[in-house]
Every structure is written in structure tokens, then in C-alpha cells.
Amino acid sequence: MDIQLLQEFVNLVETCSFQETADQMHISQSSLTKHVHKMEEELDVSFFDRSTRAVKLNDFSRAFYPYAREAVNAYEKGVVAINDVKRKDNSEIRVAFAPSLGQYDIVETISNFSKQYPEYPLKLMESYQIEHLVNEKRCDFAFMAEKESFDSRMNQLIYKTDHLVVVLNENHPLAKEPYLTLQQIKDENFILHADPMGRMQPETRKFMDVCQAENVEINVMANVTFTSTILKMISKEQGITVLFSYHAQQKETPGTVMIDFHPLVTTNIYCMYQSKRKSKSHQAFLNYIVSKIADEE
């Protein structure tokens, strides 16, 4: 089976969206649909329960996913190993980042560096298993969320700091408040952010930790994968949510307002790098990141 088909399948399981997967894999939706049908015909199963609104996993896709994910991970590691052998000097800069961090301008930062220093070749690696690339020293720099584990021998910079905000309908009685506390919103109906497998996203975990610490039980009316869907529901007065501010700003929806959650609950996005790499190109990239962080302080 073509590895690209497995990569597309894994992405589709993790996004539950043909449109989002097609965009991330840089193919058309019609091509993606044909590829999924090809896999299903080859394995004589149907992987997804399709509707006009969403893609739902079934028993076959859930059973096949971990093995497909493992195969994709192995392939990605193999490609990185081959590229290591191909490298003739240490001028290449290997930068890894997770697709889920798109709202933090990581791609823009890397692109701007490349334009400013075209003499330094960049090798970009987008991966859902970013901590493996870091721990196995398969990258020189990595942009990682706070929740990821990493080799303690790696140096780290705080690239961005984000914080929790409450998003609610503009007509909500609390919409004019300067900030909101848990006590003010604890009786609301919550739409919380979850991944396609139903697991809590980082902002949801942060918020639920606050609820647990204050011994507050909230009413969760829905766990939804896409923030665009969450915000659309809120614009229709279907509840409220708690997100990280960068994520909420990126998908700002008419009819909704964003208010800071107090006390402040923060999260960090880190730039990790290997301390032993001291080539001119690596130092240039490190200096660029440090200067960008300083500019935003």
C-alpha cells in the first residue's frame, strides 16, 4: 500500500474532515476521496460513516488507525535517517513543528528567516509526533506545545505565551464584563474542545484542572473537534467555551466575544534546540528566534 494513502488516512482520522485533510496534504478533496475508496477496496471495508456535516469513525477505522500511525511514524523516521546520510555538511537547519501550532505564526517565522538568509538551507518536518523527533535528535530546532515531553538535555526558549479566554455570544449577559471567573460561568452550558478520538485538547485540560482545584462540576453539553464549529454554535447562542486566545482570535466569528479568564491561566509554546550544534547556520537561526521573541516582549 502506498505510504501516502496511509498518511492521508491517519490525517483524516485525526481531523475527521475531508477539507482539512486535503488542505494539509496539498491535494484536492476529490483526489482524497478516491484514495480513501482505493484503500477501502483493497482491504474490503468501509472506514468512515460519512454525512454532509462530518466524517465519523467506525470500528474498522479505529482498529486500523494505530497500525497506520505506527507505519507512518516509521516511514518518517526512515526518511529523516536517509536525509541525515545525505547531508554533506552541517549547514542544513532541520526544523520540526506540529500542525496544531499553526496559529502561533511558526510557518511565517520560518519563511521570513529563509527570505532573510537564503544561503542557509532549511529542512522542515511537520509531525504529530514531534517529541520523538526531538528525543531522537532528528531535528536541530523544534516548536513544541507545553504538554509534550522532551529530552532535558535540549535547550529551550519560550517562543510564545498564550492564556485562556472565555468565548460567548455577544448578547450574553456577561458579554460586557472586563474578565470572567469560574464562579461567574460555572452554571453555563459548556462546549469543550476535544480531538477526533474524544480526548481533551490542552486548553480543555487546563480549564478542567481549574475546575477540579476549585471543586466545581460544570455542565458539558458537547465535546467538539473543530473550533470553527464551536464558535458557530456559540454565535447561535448554544453555549460558551474556553479556548486559548490565539486559537480563538484565529477563527474569530461574528456574534461572539472573547473575554479573559481570571485568574490568568497560561501555556507556553517552546522552541527547543540542540546545544551542541554551533555551526554558523544554526547560530543564525537561533539568533533570529531570540530577536523575534525580544521584539514581541
Tens digits of residue pLDDT in 39-75: 888 889 888 876 655 678 888 889 999 998 898 888 8
8 A C-beta contact, residue 223 and residue 198: yes
SS3 state of residue 26: coil
Where would I find the beta strands (DSSP E) of 170-297? 180-181, 189-193, 219-224, 241-244, 256-262, 266-273
Helical (H) or strand (E) element with 183: helix 182-185
Pick the CATH number of 3-78 from 3.20.20.10, 1.10.3720.10, 2.60.120.10, 1.10.10.10: 1.10.10.10
Cell 460544570, residue located: 218
CA distances from 259 to 114, 175, 237 (A): 36, 8, 16
SS3 state of residue 240: strand
Residue 174 reports pLDDT greater than 90:
yes
Please give the CATH topology (third level) of the domain spanning 161-267: D-Maltodextrin-Binding Protein; domain 2 (3.40.190)
Q: What percent of the chain has pLDDT over 90?
A: 38
Model-wide pTM > 0.75: no
Per-residue pLDDT tens digits for 180-237: 999 999 999 999 998 777 788 889 999 999 999 999 999 999 999 888 899 999 999 9
Q: Is domain 87-154+274-296 classified as CATH 3.30.230.70?
A: no
Q: Are 87-154+274-296 and 161-267 in the same CATH fold?
A: yes
| Distance in angstroms (rounded) separating the CA atoms of residues 109 and 113 | 6
Domain boundaries, the chain: 3-78, 87-154+274-296, 161-267
Per-residue confidence at 21, pLDDT binned at 50, 70, 90? Answer: confident
8 A C-beta contact, residue 243 and residue 167: yes
Cis-peptide, bond into residue 263, ω within 30° of zero: yes
Report residue 98 as a C-alpha cell.
Answer: 506540529
- Residues near 74 by beta carbon (within 8 Å), at least 6 away in sequence: none
Greater confidence (288 vs 200) lies with 288
| Side chain identity at residue 290, one-letter code | V
| Side chain identity at residue 50, one-letter code | R
Of 291, 253, 251, 252, which is closest to residue 271 (Cα–Cα)? 291
CA distances from 153 to 76, 148, 149, 177, 275 (A): 23, 15, 12, 44, 8
Of 49, 286, 19, 32, which is closest to residue 159 (Cα–Cα)? 286
- Residues near 119 by beta carbon (within 8 Å), at least 6 away in sequence: none
Report residue 53 as a C-alpha cell.
Answer: 456535516
Report residue 285 as a C-alpha cell.
Answer: 537561526
